[in-house]
Copies of this chain bind each other. A is one copy, B any other.
Amino acid sequence: MKPIEYADAAPEVKAVYDDIKEKRGVPDVNNFWKFIAQHPPTLARTWDSIKDVMAPGALDPLVKELLYVAVSVTNNCGYCVASHTAAARRAGMTDEMFGELIAVVGMANETNRLAVGYRVPVDRAFE
């Protein structure tokens, strides 16, 4: 499989690329978009959903990017860790924040397994 570069893209793909570039203020889109563009409906739907989900709301954009990194690390997705770590830094993540983020993700993955291994039943208070 190969990335779809802007020059070679169909109009429907170009329109999504243009919107990404404008909304993010970047000169070109990342590989992620160029690869999923092989299936234009997936490109369009994913970009629409990302715009909705990552927009500022009750949670601010930095927190949302930190959450994205936490999931990507837990799933061991190399591309996603790299790209969302970069995005989180652009949104304001400092080295110290990154250190604490990974520490929490590591502990959560550890205690998740302790809970499973000891077969801990849910406390009545949490039901």
Contacts and interface: CB of A to CB of B under 8 A. Distances in A.
Interface of A: 1, 30-32, 35-36, 38-39, 41-42, 45-46, 49-50, 52-54, 57-59, 63-64, 66-86, 94-123, 125-127
A31 B77 contact: no
Contacts of A80: 108, 111-112, 115
Q: Which 5 A-B pairs have the closest CB atoms?
A: A39-B99, A110-B110, A71-B108, A102-B117, A58-B96
Q: Describe A's contact surface by its main secondary structure.
A: helix
B117 A81 contact: yes
B106 A113 contact: yes
A45 to B, nearest CB: 6
A79 B30 contact: no
Nearest to A39: B99
Given A45-B53, A102-B113, 7 more contacts: A30-B123, A58-B97, A66-B67, A67-B70, A71-B112, A75-B76, A82-B123
